[in-house]
């Protein structure tokens, strides 16, 4: 299962042969370095830096890799072979491939049920004082006489690990380590991403 780490740079639009506008996300994908090899997975390092703690410095020294800011583990398919310190670049993907991209969604802080869950809200007139409130959350006089686990309530919104599947690669620029994928990916600009070959597409034998 091919994979690499990257950073979201922003969005733009490109045009196909018919002049149709296509929104794309620009990703700086790699170069990454193999910092550890495990059974069924590898650890990748990305985004060079100067300031790291001594334990991490020693860990990277074993793989003869310069200090990096991000370490992430990705699964690999049986039969794939890697070596410590190996460099992976964006050219492991090509135009027309499909990818699963994982990132941290934008944090939105505390939110009510209308914003967080899309509730319609209460009456807006005739003396109502419950315009945006959650309403009844349980049945006090009937079974089960408690608030059920998982009830949609106000609370912290965003800042979750999100994966978007089957995003098509529109363009690869190996000389600039850039990857252009159709549509949006999770997270804010400069957010880190895990980019992997699309699981469902690979099972169907499509690339």
pLDDT at 106: 93
Q: Where are the alpha helices (DSSP H) in the chain?
A: 54-62, 113-117, 199-203
**Average pLDDT over every residue of 42-60:** 87
- Other beta carbons within 10 angstroms of residue 172's beta carbon come to 21
Position with higher pLDDT, 115 vs 1: 115
Q: CB-based burial of residue 71 (10 Å sphere; 0-12 exposed, 13-18 middle, 19+ buried)?
A: middle
**151 contacts 134 by C-beta, under 8 angstroms:** no
Q: pLDDT tens for residues 108-149?
A: 999 999 999 999 988 888 888 889 998 888 877 788 888 889
Q: Considering the chain, tell me which residue range(s) the CATH 2.40.30.10 domain(s) occupy.
A: 3-108+161-203
Structure letter (DSSP) for residue 148: P
Q: pLDDT tens for residues 146-205?
A: 888 999 999 999 999 999 999 999 999 989 999 999 999 999 999 999 999 888 876 665
pLDDT at 51: 83
Sign of the Cα pseudo-torsion (138, 141, 146, 148, in order): negative
CA dist 130 and 198 (Å) reads 45
Q: CB-based burial of residue 138 (10 Å sphere; 0-12 exposed, 13-18 middle, 19+ buried)?
A: exposed
**β-pairing, 32-38 with 87-88?**
antiparallel
CATH of segment(s) 3-108+161-203 = 2.40.30.10
pLDDT at 204: 65
């Amino acid at each position: 299962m091919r994979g690499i780490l990257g950073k979201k740079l922003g969005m733009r639009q490109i045009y196909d042969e018919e002049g149709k506008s296509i929104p794309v996300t620009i990703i700086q994908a790699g170069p990454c370095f193999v910092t550890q090899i495990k059974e069924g997975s590898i650890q990748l390092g990305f985004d060079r830096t100067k300031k790291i703690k001594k334990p991490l410095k020693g860990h990277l020294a074993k793989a003869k890799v310069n200090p990096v800011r991000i370490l992430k583990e990705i699964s690999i398919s049986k039969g794939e072979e890697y070596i410590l310190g190996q460099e992976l670049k964006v050219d492991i993907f090509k135009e027309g491939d499909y990818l699963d991209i994982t990132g941290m969604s934008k944090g939105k802080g505390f939110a009510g049920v209308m914003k967080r869950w899309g509730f319609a809200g209460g009456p807006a007139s005739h003396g109502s004082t419950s315009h945006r409130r959650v309403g009844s959350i349980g049945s006090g006089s009937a079974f089960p006489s408690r608030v059920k686990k998982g009830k949609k309530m106000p609370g912290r919104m965003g800042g979750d690990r999100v994966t978007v599947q089957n995003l098509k690669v529109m363009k690869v620029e190996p000389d600039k380590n850039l990857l252009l994928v159709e549509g949006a990916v999770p997270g804010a600009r400069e957010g880190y991403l895990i980019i992997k070959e699309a699981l469902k597409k690979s099972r169907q034998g499509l690339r």
